Amino acid sequence: MNNIENNIVISLENVSKVFYDLKKGAFTALSDISFSCKKGEIVGLVGPNGAGKTTLLRIISSLISPTSGTVKVNGLDNSNHGEKNKKDIGFLSSDTAIYERLTGKELLLFFADLYGMKKDLALERIDELSQILDFKKIENRVCKNLSTGEKQKISIARALINDPNILILDEATNGLDILARKHILWLVKSAKEKGKTVLYSAHAMDEIEKLSDRIIFLYHGKLISNGSTDDLKNKFQCDDLTQCFLKNIEQYEKNNDEYNKNL
């Protein structure tokens, strides 16, 4: 109830995730992560490879469960309401491929069906999305015959088919050309205009800086900073977000070394 009153749509409390690897053994992918996202907020996740960004976004989307801690979407705990919470999330990543043997329209209708949308409503929504994303001409073509950019359009439409209030984008622009990347950036901007919450991870700092209301720095599975671009620039005394991140890491490593020495 408190979350809803405060317009908090995503909240994480002490979320940790431990994976077991055949070679490395147990390793902590996420350690004690707590933060929240408000309605209409765009939150950028920044971190190097292996920082835990994908794991974090997968946990929020109920794809995997945390080892400990709580994740709530619209005030509902993922551990009990995972299936229900999924209905309010649109998830897009480089690992969410489309069914290449279906046509774009069939694929979108299939996912609309899974979201419990009526066929008339789904067709209307597909029509609306096809006009916005400009895929009307290709919607009846089998996806395997589409170009990467065209596939990306169908993929975005898939994530938006049920008009979710939360959008989670996990390095969705990776490996895409300028035109395909443009669609993702449009997606984030239009979501903001509609008052939707976006959780967005990318390696391109300029993108993050331009789009995000708030930025979270993740490093070695830990949340090391959380604030607006200006807050972070002031905190680390630099003009560039990349510089801020590097200073933050340096500071974190230093503190960590001192902590280890004291131990």
Which 140-159 positions form the footprint of another protein (CB under 8 A)?
Answer: 142, 158
Angle in degrees, 0-180, between the axes of helices 148-160 and 178-193, rounded to the nearest 10: 20
- Beta carbon of residue 229, minimum distance to another protein (angstroms, whole number): 29
The answer to the question of residue 63 lying near another protein (CB under 8 A) is: yes
Binding residue for another protein (CB under 8 A) from 16, 36, 99, 182? 99
The closest of 164, 75, 156, 81 to 115, measured between CA atoms, is 164
For CA atoms 90, 92, 97, 101, the dihedral sign is positive
83 scored as a contact of another protein (CB under 8 A): yes
Copy the structure tokens of residue 244. 């801020």
- Would you give the DSSP letter of residue 103? B
Site map 102..121 versus another protein, x via CB under 8 A:
x---x---xx-xxxx-----
Cβ-Cβ contacts under 8 Å for 56 (sequence gap 6 or more): 12, 15, 30, 33, 45, 218
Binding residue (CB under 8 A) for another protein from 28, 40, 76, 87? 87
Task: Based on the shown chain and the rule CB under 8 A, indicate whether residue 89 belongs to the binding site for another protein.
Answer: yes
93 binds another protein (CB under 8 A): yes
User: Tokens for 150?
Assistant: 């065209």
- CA–CA separation, 211 and 186 (whole Å): 10
Tell me the number of residues near another protein by CB under 8 A. 33
- Binding residues for another protein, per CB under 8 A? 20-22, 25, 61-65, 83-84, 86-87, 89, 91, 93, 95-102, 106, 110-111, 113-116, 142, 158
